[in-house]
Amino acid sequence: MHELALAREMIEIVQQYASEHGPGRVRNISIRLGELSAMSRALHFCFGAASRGTLCEGAVLHIEEIPLTVWCQGCNENKSPIGRYSFRCMDCGMPTPKIVTGKEMELVSIELSRTAEDRMKKPGMPARQRNESTHLLFQGV
């Protein structure tokens, strides 16, 4: 259930920023989620419900997934574990507890509609999209 708490925390931060930047609804929210946070699906699921009745209702949630990389002291370099992570280097067998990337849970930016009229429109898809495999788009209800 902590994903719902996180969705609410995120929406609260977004609303705070949005209200500081005048009227208008939030159209896009860009976040960065590490592979280890494993929150993409859960946050998507909760975002629609949590955004209802807020400035974020109807906003598109852009999730950039950050792959897991760990530091191996034995090999003296960063590694990208493949498959289920066993916390040992797949090359030398040393423990690799130091996570370099993959734990991110960051709110990157938001885009606001410019006029009061925009608030009435359903937000469209962004003009350009990134590689679908690493950049997921979710629309709040």
Closer residue to another protein in complex, CB, 132/141: 132
* Dihedral angle sign, alpha carbons of residues 15, 54, 141, 105: positive
If one asks whether residue 6 binds another protein (CB under 8 A), the answer comes out as yes
**Pair 5, 13: CB distance under 8 Å:** no
If one asks whether residue 91 binds another protein (CB under 8 A), the answer comes out as no
Give the residue, chosen from 18, 55, 56, 61, that forms a contact with another protein under the rule CB under 8 A: 18
If one asks whether residue 140 binds another protein (CB under 8 A), the answer comes out as no
Give the residue, chosen from 40, 51, 54, 113, that forms a contact with another protein under the rule CB under 8 A: 113
Please choose, from the candidates 2, 5, 7, 1, the residue with its C-alpha nearest in 3D space to the C-alpha of residue 141.
7
Non-local (6+) Cβ contacts of 49 within 8 A are 4, 7, 141
Pick out residues in 55-84 that bind another protein (CB under 8 A). 62, 64, 66-67, 69, 80
Residue 131 buriedness (CB in 10 A; 0-12 / 13-18 / 19+): exposed
Non-local (6+) Cβ contacts of 57 within 8 A are 25, 51, 140, 141
If one asks whether residue 30 binds another protein (CB under 8 A), the answer comes out as yes
Size of the site for another protein (CB under 8 A): 49
Site string for another protein, 37-56 (x = CB under 8 A): --------------------
Instruction: List % helix, strand, coil for the chain (3-state, nearest 5).
Output: 25, 30, 45
Q: Which residues bind another protein (CB under 8 A)?
A: 1-2, 5-6, 9-10, 12-14, 16-18, 21, 24, 28, 30-32, 36, 62, 64, 66-67, 69, 80, 86-88, 95, 97, 101, 105-114, 126-131, 134-135
